[in-house]
Each structure stands twice: as C-alpha cells, then as structure tokens.
Structure 1
Amino acid sequence: MLGLLRQDISVSILSTEQVSHSFNDRWLFSDLHFGLLKGDRVALVGINGTGKSTLLKILAEIVEPTKGRVVKEKGLRIGYLHQDPDFSDLKTINDFIYSADNEQQQLIKEYEQLIENQDVTSKKFLEVTEKLTALNAWEYENNIKTILSRFQITNFEQRIESLSGGQKKRLALAKLLIDEPDIYILDEPTNHLDIETIEWLEKLLTTGSKTVLLVSHDRYFLDNICTEIRELDKGQVYTYKGNYAFFLEKKAEREANEILAADKARNLWRKELEWMRRQPQARGTKAKARIESFYDLEEKSKGPRKKDQVELSVQVARQGNKILELEGAGFSVPGKTILSPFTYTFKKGDRIGLAGKNGSGKTTFLNLITGNIQATTGKVDVGETTKYGYYRQEGLQFQTDERVLDIVKNVADYIEMKNGEVITASQLLTKFLFPPEKQFGFVNKLSGGEKKRLQLMRVLMANPNFLILDEPSNDLDIDTLNILEEFLENYPGVLILVSHDRYLLDKLTDQLFIFPGNGEVVIYNGNYADYKLEQEALIKKPEKKVEREKPVETKKKLSFKEQKEFETLEQEIETLEQTIGSKTEELSGTTDHVELQRIANEIEDIKNTLDEKTARWMELAEFI
C-alpha cells in the first residue's frame, strides 16, 4: 500500500497528533500524523536533512515539537538509541548499566561487587542470593552478561570518558536491550557493530512481539527486521508494505508520476498566464472562475522537478602491472601478535571485502598496506603507479575555521573528470550537491551526512587507482549510497571494502579476507552470502543433508540413532532438573562464602547444559 500515512491514533500505542516542527527557520514537517501499533516493526527512511532523527526524538519525547503533541499509552516505556549518546553525570560503565530505579539491576550490581570483594561475609552473600532467587533474577543476570559480552563490554569500572565514539554507541545499545522497553526507537543501530553482532541483534529484535522503529541504511538489516518502510519526504510520510527493493521500485514510480504531473501543470500554467495578462480589469463570472483555477494551477506547477544527483565520474590514475605485494608481512607489539605473516599479490580488478569482529586486525591491515605503520615481519612492496584513496571510518579531519571550499582546494584547484574535462574545485563541489552558499560556509556547520559526502569527494578527487573504503555507508543518505554503489560497480581500479553492510559486500566484492581474531588472515573466494552459506552447511548434521535431498513430499522421520538420542535426552533432562533442585536446596543450607560461590557456579553450568539439551530435544520432537 502506498500513500500518505493517516493512522487512527486511538489504536496506536504511540503517535503524533498534528505535529509540526521547524529547524533553523525551516519547517521539517507540518501537521504530521505518525502512529505505531503494538508489534509494528517499521523502518523510517529519507534523505539527509528531512527530519528523520528529529521525528524519532519527538516520538521518544526528547524534543518538544514546535506545534502539536505526542500521544502514548499509559505507562509505556520507550527505549531510544541516539546517534551520539550522552553520558553526562555518569563516570563508569557500572554507573550507566545498572539503573538506580531498577531493583533487579541494583541487586545484580551488588551481587557482582560481592563476588569481587574478598572480605564479604557469607551472611551478606546469602542474603543477596536469596533476594535474587525471590525476584527470579538469575536468568535476567545471565541475559545482561550475554548482551554485554556481545558488545565486548567486560571492564565495568572503565571510565566512560575514555571510550571511543563507537564504544559509547555500543554501550548505549547494550543498555537499551537490557532494559527491554515497550518500544525500541533506534537511530542507526548497526553503526560500529560487526556483522556477527548485527545478525545476533536481528534475531533478538524479531523474537516475540517487539515494537521497533528504526532509521538505518543497512538494506539487509531493514529487510530482516522490518515489515513496513515509511519514507519521510518533504514533510509527508509515505508507507510501503514490503521490503527495501519494493520500496525503491514504488518510490521511483511515485516520484516519476509527481514530476510528470507537475510538468503538465507548468506547461498549462504558462498558457493560462498569457490569458491572464490579456484580460481587462473588469471580468465576468466565467472569467473569475478561470482566474481561481489559474491560482490552483500555479500551486500545482510548484511541484517537484527532476532532482539533482551527486555525480561520481572522476578520472582513475593509470595502473601498472605491479600493484601491491605482501611477502610474509605481519605486525606485532611486545607480547602480542596483531597480524600474523601474510602473503598476497594484488591483481588488477581485485574487489576484496574485509570481514571480522571489531578488534580482529582489519584496521591494522589497512594501515600496514598504506604505509601508516611499518611491518614488524616480512615486506610490503607498493607498485610505482599505485595511488591510494583511503576513506576512513573516523571521518573528515578539519580545522574549526576551515570553509568547505578550502577542504577541496587543499588537495587541488583543478580536477580531471572521467571524460577528460578539467573543472574547478568549486564546480566539483556543485556536482557533489554543495551549492555556492554552502561552499563558503564553515565545515563544522555541515550535517553528519554532508561531512561524509565531502570526505568521499576529497578521496575520489585525487584520482586513486587503489580505493579503500572503511564503513562508507555510515551516515550517507540512501540516494548517495545508491549512486556510490553504481560508481563502484564500474570502478576499474582495485577496491578494498570494510563494511558491516552485507548488501554492499555481496554487491561489490567477489573475494573476502576473513579476520578470525587470532591474527590470521584467511582468503575466501566468493562474497559474504557465499561464505555464510558455506559456514552454515559445515555445522549441519549429515543426516539433515541426506534428508534434504529426498523429494519434498517425503516427510522426514528420525533415524535409529536420532530416536535413541531423543529417548536419552528425556532421561538426561529429568536428571538435570532434579540436580538443579537439590543444588538450590544445598545453596540455602550453607553460609560459607567460598562454598556458596562454588555451588552457584555449578548451578549456572548445569542450567547451560540443560538449555542445550532441551533445545536439541525440541528439535527432534518435531519429527516424532
């Protein structure tokens, strides 16, 4: 269904009521109706500057709208993930994770502190563990630990001010997931996450009937999470029931129809304008009706025209036969190997994606091949004609008094385009949608997306033949991303892409360098989708592979081995449940601190084993 969304606020758990908001004397939207029903999973999309983040903040009641109000169900708890989280008045991770007004969280915090304290009395320890049992908080404690470990948060006493921007974003997301709100409002949640964590987050957000509203440029994430896409465009919200590809198709159709209608109105308006100029002052009734129609037509003629688009058509420097050779190149620091010796000869047309968890060595590898750090073992041999273009994740570096035009002129005053045309820095900026008034403005006045676009332009204008893009999709709007993809598909040089966006990796690379996290680099011939399928196939049971080859109409039955496993599991699960019961009684019958800790650890291990065996029992039970 396509059209302006007008939901009935009476059935929405959260909605706007005739909300209007202005920013810098410009109306972002007016009389906007936007509602969420329980269980909705909605993606909000639109180009930079349309007001997506502002709308999220209004719904989360962080920003007060200029006009109108937000209506929500009584007692509704909203969890909001900001692009740049604020940690004012909080010193350590511990202070942030465990909310003062959450009894379970405060008990878990106290329990963790008691474990670390060697001088704690057994009476105090027993008192806290009994309270945790009474509140059924042991599972909650396990969930908290699972979430924090997923986001690589282990040192709870670390000061928040010492964290990087990416670490702060992960910390804020972890806290939101721990709190389990009624509505998850997420602004670019996948930024600074590795692919494995994104896939885990997808499963978590789609488990149960969670209500989710998110802004993201990660296409696979949108498709896997959301059942509906809403586009904010020129102050209106358009709804698309379908996936991202469906949205792109219908959006293009809608824009083409709007442009066509506006063009017709403009042509007719010009003819009517000539008639208006010929008319005398005294006019009859029919003439007055035609005059009123003229003014209606004039309003329609102000409709959309064909939009300006970023032009990516820069020249690529000539590339020789020798590009880049790594001969046992590695990097280590005292006591730790960051990158094990690695050998590879880059070839013309290489399109390589780097995949691995945060901290697995990807950035070290990029710094090594670009000469920002020197190899501690082996050799890095760069060809004479190799010209790097390195788009860094940390963003554009600039002085507070630098203007947009200065950023470009610092590289070159004139730039050669793909067709051989030589243009000025100002003309190139215009092609990248920076009009003259923006060119002479200060860089620090640009939005996050505009800074990223300027950074991309500065990298490409140097005419690189070896392009390295580190998380290019962060903060770029959808239109610019689509144009970047088209440019990269036809890019003739070597491309290295680091991205959590699996869609980009699949579309633009045909080879992966996998970083498992142990310092090694594993070469895989294929894109990320191929790699994922292969990994899933490796962990499947042989019996399942055989069954999948049978005709569709043949119902799967348990093999003799699986039937025996099923019967054994029933007995094992019953025994484990009895053991947990007896251990729990044993826990309340002792006051020795060391003994209490030992029994608690045993119970946790048994519960983990029970969960694994129960999951396997349920899997087999489907075929009984």
Structure 2
Amino acid sequence: MNLLSVESISKSYGERVLFSDISFGINQDQKIALIAKNGTGKTSLLNIITGNDTSDSGQVVYRNSIHISFLSQEPILNPELSIEETIFQSDSPILQVLHNYEIALKNPEDTDVYQKAFEQMELHNAWDFETQYKQILFKLKLEDLSLKVKNLSGGQKKRLALAQILISKPDLLILDEPTNHLDLEMIEWLENYFAQEKITLFMVTHDRFFLERVCNEIIEIDNGTLYQYKGNYSYYLEKKDARQIAEASSLEKAKNLYTKELDWMRRQPKARTTKSKSRIDDFYVIKEKAHQRRKEHQVQLEINMERLGSKIIEIHNVSKSFGDKDILKNFEYTFKKGERAGIIGKNGTGKSSFLNLLTKSITPDKGKIIIGDTIKIGYYTQSGIVVKPEQKVIEVIKEFGEYIPLTKGKVISASQLLERFMFDRKKQYDYVEKLSGGELKRLYLCTVLIQNPNFLILDEPTNDLDIVTLNVLEDFLLDYPGCLLVVSHDRYFMDKIVDHLFVFRGNGVIEDFPGNYSDFRMYEDSTLLEEKTEVKKEKRNWKKDANSALSYNEQKEYNRIEKDLKKLAEEKEIMEAKFADGTITTDKVNEASEKLQKILDSIEEKEMRWMELMEKME
C-alpha cells in the first residue's frame, strides 16, 4: 500500500541546485534510507516531505488520513512542559487511554475514574502497549517524567522527541540522524526495535551498521540524480560500484565516439540531407555526454605531522569525580607510539571528561598525567567550530596562515587546502553561518588537522558527516602515523580504525579490551549467553522444566492470569484503603461493597485456575 509519492520535485537556493525532477514512492512496511553528500539537500528533502518546506516544482501526494511523525536534528519542544506532558500531547487514541489510566493510578480514591480507565485499558487491549511504552522510556533513559523540557540537555531533548514519535505509533516515521545523542546500548536497542517492528521508515543516517541491519531499500542522490537500490547497505555498495564502472565505461565510449564525430564536423559537412542534419544534431548530444564529469572530489589529507619522541602520555594513579559520581579510580596507563584506541561506554560514564583530563581542560583529584615534550595534541570536540558573525569559510583557514605545510616539505595555499576538503572556490566565500551541519564539521576537522598534531583526539567525529566524507576520513586515519584516541558511537567507524578499546563501565571502572567493537560485542554476547544459560539451568533444577507440561495456549493463559492477578490485587488494595480511611460516603457504601466483592470473586476464580495449571506443571 502506497503511503506517499514524491512526484518530480526540485529545489534550488539561488543558483545552487540541490536536486531536480526527483520522484519516488514510500510503501507500507518499507524501511528506506536516503544517502547523499552533505549540502546536497537531504534535510531539505525531508522538510519538503513533512510539509516544513516547499519544493520549487512538483508535488508530494499523501494517502488520505496518513499520520506522519518527523524527528528532526533539532526537535522543537515546549520548554514549559514536563517529559510526561510532552509524550501525552499526541492525539493517538490508545495513548490517551494509557494517559487516563496513569492519571487514575495517581488518584486511587476516585474509584469511578479508576474503574472506567481500567475498563478502557481492557477494551483497547492496552496492557501490552503500556509495557512497550515503559520499555521505550527506560531504554532512552527518560525515567523521571516530571522533569521540565527546559531543564533537559540537548541529548535528552533528542531522546524525548524520539520517544514521543515511537510511542505515538504513526503510519510513517521520518527520521533525520536518529542515532545522534544515543549511546551504543540505546542504538543497538533502537536497531533491534526497528528491525523487529512492523513499521514504515524513511530516514537519513550516517550509521552504516544501522543501515545494514534495519533498511531494506537505499535511495541515493548523486550529482543531482536519484538512484534506488532494493537492499541493505552491503547491497547498495555492491550495486553502486557496478553502476560507476558501467558509467565510466559508457563515458569512455562517448569520448571515443566524440573524437570520431568531431573529426567529421571539422570537415565542415554541408547539412543538405536529412541524414547529415540528424548526424549534426546527434553530435551535440554526444559532446554533452563526453564532457560529463563526475564530481567525485575526495578529501586528500596529507598534512605534515610533528615528530613523536619516546615519551607519549603517561597516566599515573589518576582519580576524578564530580560530587558522588566517580569518573576514574586510580587509573594507570601509558600510551605507546602509533597507538589507536577507541573509547566506548554509556552516556554519563565520563568519556568526554577523560579526554578533558588528557588535554588539561580539567585537573585530576589525585594522581598525575605526564605529556611528552614532543606531543602536540589535536582535539576535535563535540562543541565544534566557533562561528563568528559574517566570517567567510576561507577566512577561518587563513587564521592559521596563507600557506600550510604538507609532508615532504611541500606547502599549500588556504584555498587549495579547502578544495581538498570539498569546499569549491565558490563555497569558500560563503559565510560560515550558512553551512550545513556536516559542512561545519568538515571545516572544523580541517582546522584541527592543519595544526599538525601527532596525538589526535576525536570526540564523536562522525556526527553529521556524510558517508562519502566518512569513508575518506577513515582512509586518512588508517594511514595516520601518530597516536589516535577516538570516542564514537559509530560502530562501523570504530571497527575500521581502532586496535583496542577503553570500555567505560561507570562508577570509575575502565576496562582495556584488546580488539575492535565487533570483537567486544561478540565477547559481551557470549558472556551474556553463558550467564543466561546458568540462570536457565538453575531454574530447571527447582522448577523441573515446568512449562513443558503445558500446551502453548495454556502457557499463554498462565502468563495472562499472573498479570490479571497483579492488577486485581492493586484494585483490591485501593478499595480496602478507601473503606479503612472513611472516604466512601454512606450512600456509596453498598455500591463500593459490590465492587470489592466482584474483585474478590475474580481473584478467587483466577487463583483456582492458576492452581490447576500449576498442578499440571509439577
């Protein structure tokens, strides 16, 4: 079933054409990723589809009554609302049922309201939805629902916006970089959620593991042309490579034909016949094709690097805490030449604080950090480049000098360097504040690298970078001869460039794991499997494999009865409390007694059936 059709849309800003005559459709249950270079209109396309912008031509056609939710990179939320109020802003009927039930639980003295809310939960079969709702909030670490939006961090706001759209269950989810501001545990949970749920997605993401495991179709905008690939990220890479080989072959044939036809044209043919006129017309078509150039600019990073001495960085018995929260406890480590380390861990475990200790932005509470005399640190932070009003791109680079030294004694002008970072001559004279998020990150990376560091620290370098730039950055880092320390949630990136990991477990515990992220995940999964196996063995020892005596339907009934008994026990407690504290008026006593008796009868009936099933299991 088609949910949305994009029909021949175009978008330009002045002379800059982002895309033209783009058409595609989104069908139910498709999970589509959009891939394009930074600055080529990904976010603009999302904004057009969601109605936040208009196209210059063409149209977007929506299925009647379709419910679309959009997660932008900078969500707009009401700062005065709490987390709970923000989530329940949705017009989803089942969410309103759950909201009423949550309110009823907070006001147990109003039995009529509670009973009505309980019946609505039963009618809409909302108990499973309630479980999923709570799981989403728990996984995204949004457990204090009373917190006001205005007091949340940028990452918490992004997670709240994500929770809001997941819980509202729209027909179509449109997501702009959904994994930004999520730690690895959250990303893997979201990955599994999207992979398993029957859900329709259209997203922009640079997370290639996410693309591989979630998406079943890739749409690419390349040099203004749209290409569609019916498969995941691996399939896309394979087919794109084949397409580019075919295009190169076609271009070569066109050039050869152009040379031949150019020779004929130079003999000044007289266009007297229909055949010769047609050949002249064809010549100009061939000429246009032969002169096509793929704009495959690549970031060529051959910046000079300061010489490394024998002493790099030594960390001796370092401890650091903020209040009651421990970041490091008696941590010891000595970095070696050419070391390539990654840092992983949940948000809030101290990863960025550790980098700030190394760069002396903060000081340890105990111990010392010794930095070698030859060490020159290049620190790429999450905060990014400081944008000065009306500063042009080239002026940012010229602050470091008109000419920048390269390897082997070469030098390069500021303008030439920017071209290598995929800023053409025209873009170099744009104001910095006009750059896209990815272009700002690329410019910032340039300013860090031109200072010739030999110890490179990168804090989330992959956020907002397009996949093309990521591949080139990875190639550079693989050849980088200095020391490298990286904090990143990009598992694909970490797998490619690091040799070992510092795993931040929290409470000041840091483990040094010998391998990349996939090695670590495999190790963790095998450890978890062993633990689960042990737990299952213990359960079998005292339960004697109880469930094996029940049929499939009886097992479902058994699990349902346990849930029902828990809810009935809560209702019983509420009713008995009202009798005890005298809040039930005289004229309501008989009615309340009847309700309590019904609850007690239901409990007795369900307990009897529960006992019957238990006997079967023994």
State the number of aligned residues.
574
Aligned partner of residue 328 in structure 1, secondary structure: strand
Distance change (3 Å), C-alpha of 1:594 and 1:439: farther
Q: Is the counterpart of residue 377 in structure 1 residue 357 in structure 2? A: no
Matches within 5 A, 1:236-385: 236-266=225-255, 268-269=257-258, 272-273=261-262, 275-276=264-265, 278-279=267-268, 283-305=272-294, 307-385=296-374
| Counterpart Cα distance in 2 of 1:483 and 1:129 | 57
TM-score normalised by structure 1 residue count: 0.84
Which position in structure 2 is the counterpart of 1:58? 48
| Counterpart Cα distance in 1 of 2:164 and 2:370 | 45
RMSD, aligned CA: 3.1
Distance change (3 Å), C-alpha of 1:110 and 1:301: same
Which position in structure 2 is the counterpart of 1:204? 193
| Alpha-carbon displacement from aligned partner over 1:224-244 (angstroms, at most 9, x marks no partner) | 111222211233322234443
Q: Tell me the amino acid that sits aligned with residue 143 of structure 1.
A: Q
Q: Is the counterpart of residue 172 in structure 1 residue 161 in structure 2? A: yes
2:545 to 548, 553, 565: 565
Displacement of 1:306 in angstroms is: 6.2
Larger mean CA deviation between 298-307 and 531-540 belongs to 298-307
Q: Are the equivalent residues in 2 in contact too, given 1:330–1:341 (CA < 8 A)?
A: yes
| Counterpart Cα distance in 2 of 1:74 and 1:487 | 49
Larger mean CA deviation between 200-209 and 122-131 belongs to 122-131
Q: Is the counterpart of residue 467 in structure 1 residue 447 in structure 2? A: no
Distance change (3 Å), C-alpha of 1:253 and 1:519: same
Q: Tell me the amino acid that sits aligned with residue 488 of structure 1.
A: L
| Alpha-carbon displacement from aligned partner over 1:161-208 (angstroms, at most 9, x marks no partner) | 343332222211111111112222222111111111111111111114
Q: Tell me the amino acid that sits aligned with residue 75 of structure 2.
A: P
1:532 to 514, 517, 521: 521
Q: Are the equivalent residues in 2 in contact too, given 1:19–1:32 (CA < 8 A)?
A: yes
2:14 to 13, 24, 27: 24
| Counterpart Cα distance in 2 of 1:116 and 1:339 | 41
Q: Are the equivalent residues in 1 in contact too, given 2:390–2:431 (CA < 8 A)?
A: yes
Aligned partner of residue 34 in structure 1, secondary structure: strand
Displacement of 1:83 in angstroms is: 1.8
Distance change (3 Å), C-alpha of 1:509 and 1:104: same
| Counterpart Cα distance in 2 of 1:47 and 1:595 | 64
| Counterpart Cα distance in 2 of 1:100 and 1:189 | 20
Larger mean CA deviation between 219-228 and 296-305 belongs to 296-305
Aligned partner of residue 18 in structure 1, secondary structure: strand
| Alpha-carbon displacement from aligned partner over 1:212-270 (angstroms, at most 9, x marks no partner) | 22221111111111122221123332223444344234323322432443344345435
Q: Is the counterpart of residue 145 in structure 1 residue 134 in structure 2? A: yes
Q: Are the equivalent residues in 1 in contact too, given 2:305–2:407 (CA < 8 A)?
A: yes
Matches within 5 A, 1:148-167: 148-167=137-156
Q: Are the equivalent residues in 1 in contact too, given 2:11–2:57 (CA < 8 A)?
A: yes
Larger mean CA deviation between 445-454 and 428-437 belongs to 428-437
| Counterpart Cα distance in 2 of 1:594 and 1:464 | 69
Which position in structure 1 is the counterpart of 2:60? 70
Distance change (3 Å), C-alpha of 1:175 and 1:582: closer
Q: Is the counterpart of residue 488 in structure 1 residue 477 in structure 2? A: yes
Q: Tell me the amino acid that sits aligned with residue 313 of structure 1.
A: E
| Counterpart Cα distance in 2 of 1:256 and 1:319 | 42
Which position in structure 2 is the counterpart of 1:454? 443
Larger mean CA deviation between 442-451 and 300-309 belongs to 300-309
What percentage of aligned pairs have identical amino acids? 43
Q: Tell me the amino acid that sits aligned with residue 380 of structure 1.
A: I
1:136 to 110, 115, 125: 125
Q: Is the counterpart of residue 97 in structure 1 residue 87 in structure 2? A: yes
Larger mean CA deviation between 261-270 and 35-44 belongs to 261-270
Distance change (3 Å), C-alpha of 1:262 and 1:488: same
Q: Are the equivalent residues in 1 in contact too, given 2:223–2:295 (CA < 8 A)?
A: no
| Counterpart Cα distance in 2 of 1:83 and 1:240 | 25
Distance change (3 Å), C-alpha of 1:58 and 1:468: same
Larger mean CA deviation between 485-494 and 159-168 belongs to 159-168
2:3 to 4, 10, 13: 13
| Counterpart Cα distance in 1 of 2:577 and 2:480 | 64
Distance change (3 Å), C-alpha of 1:541 and 1:62: same
Displacement of 1:366 in angstroms is: 0.7
Distance change (3 Å), C-alpha of 1:310 and 1:583: closer
Q: Are the equivalent residues in 2 in contact too, given 1:122–1:593 (CA < 8 A)?
A: no
| Counterpart Cα distance in 2 of 1:109 and 1:560 | 40
Displacement of 1:106 in angstroms is: 3.6
Which position in structure 2 is the counterpart of 1:219? 208
Larger mean CA deviation between 343-352 and 99-108 belongs to 99-108
Which position in structure 2 is the counterpart of 1:445? 434
| Alpha-carbon displacement from aligned partner over 1:571-606 (angstroms, at most 9, x marks no partner) | 99866644544454455556448689xxxxxx9xxx
Distance change (3 Å), C-alpha of 1:24 and 1:562: farther
Larger mean CA deviation between 151-160 and 128-137 belongs to 128-137
Aligned partner of residue 516 in structure 1, secondary structure: strand
| Counterpart Cα distance in 2 of 1:238 and 1:177 | 29
| Counterpart Cα distance in 2 of 1:442 and 1:97 | 38
Which position in structure 2 is the counterpart of 1:556? none
Distance change (3 Å), C-alpha of 1:576 and 1:449: closer
Aligned partner of residue 158 in structure 1, secondary structure: coil
Q: Tell me the amino acid that sits aligned with residue 50 of structure 2.
A: A
Aligned partner of residue 539 in structure 1, secondary structure: helix
Q: Is the counterpart of residue 436 in structure 1 residue 428 in structure 2? A: no
Q: Tell me the amino acid that sits aligned with residue 319 of structure 2.
A: G
Displacement of 1:27 in angstroms is: 3.8
Distance change (3 Å), C-alpha of 1:349 and 1:116: farther
| Alpha-carbon displacement from aligned partner over 1:63-103 (angstroms, at most 9, x marks no partner) | 33322222333332222221222225864333321125234
Displacement of 1:293 in angstroms is: 1.4
| Alpha-carbon displacement from aligned partner over 1:278-319 (angstroms, at most 9, x marks no partner) | 537774433312211112212323423462221111111111
Q: Tell me the amino acid that sits aligned with residue 84 of structure 1.
A: E
Q: Are the equivalent residues in 2 in contact too, given 1:47–1:478 (CA < 8 A)?
A: yes
| Counterpart Cα distance in 1 of 2:30 and 2:93 | 29
Larger mean CA deviation between 503-512 and 569-578 belongs to 569-578
Q: Tell me the amino acid that sits aligned with residue 33 of structure 2.
A: A
Distance change (3 Å), C-alpha of 1:338 and 1:592: farther
Q: Are the equivalent residues in 1 in contact too, given 2:80–2:150 (CA < 8 A)?
A: no
Aligned partner of residue 326 in structure 2, secondary structure: strand
Q: Are the equivalent residues in 2 in contact too, given 1:356–1:516 (CA < 8 A)?
A: yes
| Counterpart Cα distance in 2 of 1:133 and 1:573 | 17
Aligned partner of residue 13 in structure 1, secondary structure: strand
Larger mean CA deviation between 122-131 and 509-518 belongs to 122-131
Displacement of 1:343 in angstroms is: 0.8
Distance change (3 Å), C-alpha of 1:235 and 1:129: same
Q: Are the equivalent residues in 2 in contact too, given 1:389–1:466 (CA < 8 A)?
A: yes
Which position in structure 2 is the counterpart of 1:83? 73
Q: Tell me the amino acid that sits aligned with residue 188 of structure 1.
A: E
| Counterpart Cα distance in 2 of 1:333 and 1:285 | 85
Which position in structure 2 is the counterpart of 1:612? none
Matches within 5 A, 1:520-599: 520-541=509-530, 564-567=544-547, 570=550, 577-589=560-572, 591-592=574-575
Q: Tell me the amino acid that sits aligned with residue 167 of structure 2.
A: I
Distance change (3 Å), C-alpha of 1:173 and 1:312: same
- Structure 1 unaligned spans of 5+: 1-10, 546-558, 597-602, 604-624
Which position in structure 1 is the counterpart of 2:614? none
